[in-house]
């Protein structure tokens, strides 16, 4: 069949649905059928799944003209999704295409939810189209004879590539693709990405820089312009609106009319605990919503989530309180309105959430922004601008992730085994390892085989062995089994299943939260009050309780930060507070009382000013700096400045950061004049000082935890076998100390530092910020008491960093162990 005939099949199908294919869909079909690779830039709900399912099926039809009567078995295409919750939806659209076109193609899912029985069946006979996650793809590569599975695979589609790109799962994808490219001669690689700042780079990473695949590729943009309206919920009485906080419950009543005025409203919260609290509180205040409101987050059991998703589609719900669990995939036509509670910390995410509403083509998306504290109104105002200007941030890919590479090499060793020369050529083609040196490669191979760089006596290290022909394999079944459990690069706290004593799964919860509970304690989870009975084999046993409680289940979650573009918008909004009223947004105008208070003790900085505030409370001496550059830059700048000050004289700091500024808290007063006179904000020796400050803080230590787990140095335990995280936690911490003392040149130990540098401290942004600060006038305000700007920082007790140049013995002289009196 020629292309025209194939296209006719597709277009007829669209006509039957009374749809018309978009240009981007047809472009994608064409490029795919021309054997091209590519990246498709299309938002959720635009029909992106049909853009790629169709050519996959058409390609099969082309090669098998008797497709209606005969079925040529074997894997034809793999669809990768970051969230296994989405696989069902993707399967449905795929099956619709395969069956409507009269093919006999089968569609299967393979993820953490797939039963062993199904897995075994799949192993015998793979479905034609397989929907899976990056981790499950790795697990496929970990099976013996995996090359036969992929031999005739004609396409791999990586959905939501923007979500995976900046993570180590992205690196896992790069590695898997590098292998399958070699095995399958006909492979096309396609990515689907929402709009991000570095789309071109996203394509490079997916296909491999300077690879043949990249040369034979296209970038297709959907260009679906959607009208998005952002409305801020402005507190009626600014005077009583809090200076800090992250819940936003003060504005609960303002949400009610919004919910009432639309068919279905999604309320996005930033954390799962916030989601639980909002759900609880709305029902408490407005019991009339009972039965019409639901909650959706990643730790609720799958059945409930699916039920909620279906109920949204069937217009059965008035409101759903959710987290990022509803960010991706799934089309919900009835959703008319979206409310974002608290700063979304990124324009791309905000746009994506806004896009959840008004799904029909041509309809406008409305998103309400609900600030959780005063200063967030500035963010609200900046978001409005960002949406107008279409400012979107970059997703930064990883480089030289030795931990993921070691995991991958072990994976290859437990399945077919590998020859280093062959694999080295493949990984050199990837973005992540394009700059790896021969020496580093040799180091990694030694590490796999000997657990060190030279053979030592009395050592019984066992992992990968080298056969006489040079093939690297794992022969020990225990090593192989432990590694299979370990595959996956998303490292989180250990999750325990929450179940009723009599049975019945409710959801999963992080061990860190449960460890704080005693028998008989009542906590709220998944909208229910539950009494904690005991932990048994990784299961939390509970029973229903009628007791009231203020313990609400919480999850650590990852911290988010403002992008460079967002930070700039934010600063500009802040500066506008000094301008005439007509130049101010409604949000900034509403903040007038806060600015008055701020000016009473201090100033609201102008573009030419850099504000420093100092004051004393019973906690100690507070020194506050406001670059307005986003959390990560502040972490870097705070560490850098703290380190430089600590060189002047022995001192210890506790550091706090947020998106607006940072605090150095100490038991001693810092002379700010001395800081300014010594030019401690200089760019000179920035890198060197930053590196040294890293050793003085604990940031790299925390990064090391993930590296140690991914590279297989710390074993996370068998699921449901009761090997707990506590053991692992301490051992990755202990491991860090042992490496620091005995093997500081270990590449994995070094990686913890490089990663902190590249992914957390954002060295480049720090440099630009310091350059900007150099042009500003330093304004040092010695205040009597805390200012509104300082308040969220000085009250942050959770996520503090330490830095010290004092001798331990000297520090301890000023300390005591605290005995809590009841």
Partner 1 sequence: MTHPIQLQGQSFQMHFSGALFWVEKSMLLISDVHLGKISHFRKYGAAVPQNAVQQNFEAMTMAIEFFKPTKVVFLGDLFHSSLNKEWELFENWVNTITSEMILVSGNHDIISPLKYEDIHITVISELVLDSFLLTHHPEERDGFFNFSGHIHPAIKLSGLGRQSVRLPCFYKTESQMILPAFGEFTGTYTLEPCDGCEVFALLGDSVLPVPIKEVKKKRSFRKKSI
Interacting residue ranges for partner 1, rule: CB under 8 A:
238-243, 245, 447, 451-452, 456, 458-463, 478-479, 482-483, 593-594, 597, 618-621, 652-654, 665-668, 712-715, 730-731, 733-735, 737-739, 741-743, 746, 788, 791, 795, 797, 800, 802, 808-809, 811-812, 814-822
Furthest C-alpha separation in the chain: 85
Least distance to partner 1 from the beta carbon of 116, Å?
25
- Partners of 337 in beta bridges: 265, 366
Yes or no: say if 106 and 77 are a contact pair by the CB < 8 Å rule: no
**Beta carbon nearer to partner 1, 153 or 786:** 786
**Beta carbon nearer to partner 1, 290 or 809:** 809
Least distance to partner 1 from the beta carbon of 517, Å?
18
Least distance to partner 1 from the beta carbon of 278, Å?
18
Residue 581 host element (H or E): none
**Beta carbon nearer to partner 1, 364 or 619:** 619
Q: Render 165-205 in DSSP notation, one character per residue.
A: HTSHHHHHHHHHHHHHHHH-TT-EEEEEE---TTHHHHHHH
Least distance to partner 1 from the beta carbon of 237, Å?
10
Least distance to partner 1 from the beta carbon of 645, Å?
13
Least distance to partner 1 from the beta carbon of 519, Å?
19
Yes or no: say if 317 and 282 are a contact pair by the CB < 8 Å rule: no
**Beta carbon nearer to partner 1, 366 or 651:** 651
**Beta carbon nearer to partner 1, 353 or 463:** 463
Least distance to partner 1 from the beta carbon of 713, Å?
5
Q: Tokens for 206?
A: 């997916």
Burial of 299 (0-12, 13-18, 19+ CB in 10 A): buried
d(CA 333, CA 356) in angstroms, rounded, equals: 8
The sheet carrying 620-626 orders its strands as 777-782, 609-617, 620-626, 662-666, 652-657, 801-804
Yes or no: say if 188 and 154 are a contact pair by the CB < 8 Å rule: yes
**Beta carbon nearer to partner 1, 381 or 666:** 666
Yes or no: say if 697 and 761 are a contact pair by the CB < 8 Å rule: no
Give the dihedral sign, CA 746/751/754/756: negative
d(CA 306, CA 67) in angstroms, rounded, equals: 34
| Helices 420-428 + 168-183 axis angle, to 10 | 120
Nearest to 451 by CA among 745, 738, 713: 713
Least distance to partner 1 from the beta carbon of 738, Å?
5
**Beta carbon nearer to partner 1, 621 or 780:** 621
Q: How far is CA 771 from CA 76, 274, 607, 640, in A?
A: 53, 38, 14, 14
Yes or no: say if 532 and 540 are a contact pair by the CB < 8 Å rule: yes
CB-CB neighbours of 789 under 10 Å: 27
**Beta carbon nearer to partner 1, 519 or 797:** 797
Least distance to partner 1 from the beta carbon of 795, Å?
5
**Beta carbon nearer to partner 1, 557 or 593:** 593
**Beta carbon nearer to partner 1, 123 or 727:** 727
d(CA 339, CA 267) in angstroms, rounded, equals: 5
Least distance to partner 1 from the beta carbon of 239, Å?
5
Least distance to partner 1 from the beta carbon of 669, Å?
11
d(CA 431, CA 582) in angstroms, rounded, equals: 49
Three-state secondary structure call for residue 95? helix
**Beta carbon nearer to partner 1, 260 or 795:** 795
Strands annotated E in 579-684: 609-617, 620-626, 652-657, 662-666
**Beta carbon nearer to partner 1, 383 or 670:** 670
Q: Tokens for 607?
A: 């573009």
**Beta carbon nearer to partner 1, 502 or 822:** 822
Yes or no: say if 168 and 710 are a contact pair by the CB < 8 Å rule: yes
CB-CB neighbours of 152 under 10 Å: 17
Least distance to partner 1 from the beta carbon of 709, Å?
11
Least distance to partner 1 from the beta carbon of 583, Å?
24
CB-CB neighbours of 47 under 10 Å: 18
Nearest to 551 by CA among 601, 495, 509: 509
Nearest to 704 by CA among 658, 749, 763: 749
Least distance to partner 1 from the beta carbon of 613, Å?
16
Nearest to 51 by CA among 224, 172, 203, 212: 224
Least distance to partner 1 from the beta carbon of 271, Å?
20
H helices of 17-154, in order, are 23-33, 48-63, 87-100, 116-124, 134-141, 146-150
**Beta carbon nearer to partner 1, 750 or 776:** 750
- Partners of 802 in beta bridges: 654
Least distance to partner 1 from the beta carbon of 297, Å?
26
**Beta carbon nearer to partner 1, 269 or 790:** 790
Least distance to partner 1 from the beta carbon of 797, Å?
7
Q: Tokens for 152?
A: 């005739």
d(CA 125, CA 74) in angstroms, rounded, equals: 7
H helices of 522-563, in order, are none
**Beta carbon nearer to partner 1, 306 or 738:** 738
Q: Tokens for 185?
A: 């001669």
Yes or no: say if 317 and 294 are a contact pair by the CB < 8 Å rule: yes
CB-CB neighbours of 575 under 10 Å: 18
**Beta carbon nearer to partner 1, 201 or 668:** 668
**Beta carbon nearer to partner 1, 120 or 817:** 817
Least distance to partner 1 from the beta carbon of 459, Å?
6
């Amino acid at each position: 069949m020629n292309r025209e005939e194939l296209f006719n099949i597709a277009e007829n199908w669209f006509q039957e649905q009374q749809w018309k294919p978009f240009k981007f869909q047809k472009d994608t079909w064409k490029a795919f059928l021309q054997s091209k690779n590519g990246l498709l830039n299309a938002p959720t709900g635009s029909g992106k799944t049909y853009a790629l399912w169709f050519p996959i099926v058409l390609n099969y039809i082309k090669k098998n003209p008797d497709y209606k009567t005969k079925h040529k078995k074997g894997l034809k295409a793999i669809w990768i999704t970051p969230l296994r919750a989405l696989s069902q939806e993707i399967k449905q659209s795929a099956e619709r295409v395969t069956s409507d076109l009269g093919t006999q193609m089968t569609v299967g899912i393979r993820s953490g939810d797939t039963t062993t029985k199904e897995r075994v069946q799949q192993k015998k006979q793979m479905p034609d189209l397989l929907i899976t996650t990056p981790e499950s793809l790795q697990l496929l590569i970990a099976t013996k004879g995996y090359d036969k599975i992929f031999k005739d695979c004609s396409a791999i589609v990586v959905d939501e590539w923007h979500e995976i790109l900046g993570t180590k799962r992205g690196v896992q994808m790069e590695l898997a693709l590098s292998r399958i490219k070699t095995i399958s001669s006909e492979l096309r690689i396609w990515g689907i990405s929402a709009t991000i700042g570095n789309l071109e780079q996203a394509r490079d990473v997916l296909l491999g820089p300077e690879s043949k695949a990249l040369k034979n590729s296209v970038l297709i943009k959907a260009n679906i312009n959607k009208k998005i309206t952002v409305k801020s919920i402005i507190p009626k009485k600014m005077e009583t609106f809090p200076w800090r906080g992250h819940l936003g419950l003060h504005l609960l009543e303002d949400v009610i009319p919004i919910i009432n005025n639309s068919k279905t409203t999604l309320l996005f919260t930033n954390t799962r605990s916030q989601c639980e609290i909002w759900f609880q509180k709305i029902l408490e205040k407005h019991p009339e919503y009972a039965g019409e409101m639901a909650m959706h987050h990643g730790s609720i059991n799958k059945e409930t989530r699916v039920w909620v998703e279906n109920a949204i589609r069937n217009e059965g719900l008035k409101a759903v309180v959710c987290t990022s669990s509803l960010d991706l995939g799934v089309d919900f036509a009835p959703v008319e309105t979206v409310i974002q509670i608290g700063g979304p910390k990124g324009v791309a995410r905000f746009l994506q959430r806004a896009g959840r509403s008004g799904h029909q083509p041509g309809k406008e998306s409305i998103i309400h922004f609900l600030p959780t504290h005063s200063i967030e109104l500035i963010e609200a105002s900046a978001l409005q601008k960002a949406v107008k200007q279409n400012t979107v941030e970059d997703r930064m890919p990883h480089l030289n992730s030795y931990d993921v590479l070691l995991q991958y090499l072990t994976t290859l060793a437990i399945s077919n085994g590998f020859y280093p020369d062959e694999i080295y050529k493949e990984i050199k083609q990837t973005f992540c390892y394009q700059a790896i040196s021969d020496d580093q490669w040799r180091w990694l191979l030694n590490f796999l085989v000997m657990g060190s760089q030279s053979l030592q006596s009395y050592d019984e290290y066992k992992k990968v062995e080298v056969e006489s022909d040079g093939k690297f394999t794992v022969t020990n079944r225990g090593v192989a089994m432990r590694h299979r459990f370990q595959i996956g690069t998303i490292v989180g706290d250990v999750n325990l299943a929450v179940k009723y004593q009599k049975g019945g799964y409710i959801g999963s919860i992080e061990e860190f939260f449960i460890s704080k509970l005693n028998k008989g304690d009542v906590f709220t989870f998944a909208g229910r009050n539950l009494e904690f009975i005991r932990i048994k084999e990784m299961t939390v046993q509970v029973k229903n309780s009628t007791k009231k409680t203020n313990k609400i289940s919480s999850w650590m979650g990852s911290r988010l930060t403002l992008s460079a573009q967002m930070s700039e918008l934010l600063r500009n909004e802040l500066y506008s507070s000094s301008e005439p009223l007509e130049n101010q947004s409604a949000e900034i105008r509403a903040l007038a009382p806060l600015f008055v208070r701020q000016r009473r003790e201090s100033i609201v900085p102008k573009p030419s000013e850099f504000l420093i505030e100092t004051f004393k409370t019973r906690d100690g001496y507070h020194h506050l700096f406001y670059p307005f550059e986003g959390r990560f830059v502040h972490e870097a700048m705070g560490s850098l400045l703290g380190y430089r000050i600590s060189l002047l004289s022995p001192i210890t700091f506790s550091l706090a950061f947020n998106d607006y500024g940072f605090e150095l808290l100490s038991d001693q007063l810092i002379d700010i004049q001395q800081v300014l006179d010594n030019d401690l904000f200089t760019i000179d020796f920035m890198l060197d000082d930053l590196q040294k400050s890293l050793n003085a803080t604990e940031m790299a230590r925390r990064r090391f935890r993930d590296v140690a787990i991914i590279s297989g140095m710390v074993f996370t335990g068998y699921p449901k076998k009761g090997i707990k995280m506590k053991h692992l936690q301490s051992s990755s911490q202990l491991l860090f100390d042992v490496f620091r003392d005995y093997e500081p040149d270990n590449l994995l130990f070094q990686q913890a530092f490089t990663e902190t540098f590249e992914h957390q401290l954002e060295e480049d942004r720090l440099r630009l910020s310091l350059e900007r600060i150099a042009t500003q006038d330093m304004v040092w305000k010695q205040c009597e008491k805390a200012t509104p700007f300082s308040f969220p920082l000085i009250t942050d007790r959770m996520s503090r960093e330490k830095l010290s140049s004092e001798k331990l013995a000297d520090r301890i002289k000023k300390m005591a162990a605290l005995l809590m009196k009841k």
